[in-house]
Amino acid sequence: MASGEVVAAIAMTEPGAGSDLASMSTRALRRGDEYLIDGAKTFITNGGSADLILLAAKTEPAGGAHGVSLFLVDANDCPGFRRGRVLDKLGQHSGDTAELFFDGAAVPADCLLGEVEGQGFVQLMTQLPQERLLLAVAAAVSAQRAVDLAVDYTKNRHVFGKPLFAKQHVKFELAECATLARVAKVFVDDCVTKHLNGTLDAATASMAKYWTTDVQCQVVDRCLQLFGGNGYMREYPIAEMYANARAQRIYGGANEIMKELIARSL
């Protein structure tokens, strides 16, 4: 994976189970030296191109979160596995997002991740704060990039004989957006420091994910407005940034779920 020889995907989300992963219906039943897996996954990043799939499935259907296990699936050599559609997304077209189907897919028993069944939910939850921090980093960078693009555009775009930047409303919009981007960066930098020294808790990671992605969408939208009609044209980077930003508030745990997790810590 590190060398790029293998592309990987993580398959958690299902048509009927998104944020509530404990309710997933994909089943993995032990049969001798293999597991037979039945179920469907959707919205899987790299699903259309992955060589290796980290699959979440229920090994104990009645066990709730304690019944989830993780499996390493060789997507190029797994009888009973097939890829569905590569989904047509609003944005983020540089990466494929696909459906995956398991119809009695046979996976060797030693592809279970961990020594025993039922560790999957804990394994996933242990890594989710880092994933949410990564999304926050991307959000903070995107917000600052939107400001930079808008400042450059408004200083070079002339309206009524003067640069657009000369208008007080435009300067104030950019001042507010620049402030939001700066606060997001400082918050994320602090979270990265905590993560590196092992003190980033799940609630703070949830705060970072929800707040910075909200700020990202707000700042990109306000900056796009300053481009006028050009902001709606895909040849301008701000338009692509606008389309790409929207998913940030959904994946990695919807922002509404982040607020629920934060509230549990209060």
131 is catalytic: yes
Cβ neighbours of residue 69 closer than 8 Å, sequence gap 6 or more: 28, 56, 57, 58, 59, 112, 113, 114, 117, 118, 119, 120
Residue 211 contacts residue 235 (beta carbons within 8 Å): no
Residue among 210, 207, 205 nearest 129 (CA): 205
Annotated catalytic residue within 14, 60, 117, 131 = 131
Residue 219 contacts residue 146 (beta carbons within 8 Å): yes
Which residue matches tokens 């990987």? 8
Quickly count helices (H) and strands (E) in the chain. Answer: 5, 9
Angle at 132 between CA 189 and CA 24, to 5 degrees: 170
Residue 205 contacts residue 191 (beta carbons within 8 Å): yes
Query: Quick check: helix, strand or coil at residue 74?
Result: strand
Distance CA 157, CA 182 (A): 25
Give the CA distances from residue 91 to residues 10, 86, 94, 211, 218, in Å, rounded to whole numbers and listed in that order: 20, 13, 9, 21, 17
Catalytic residues: 131
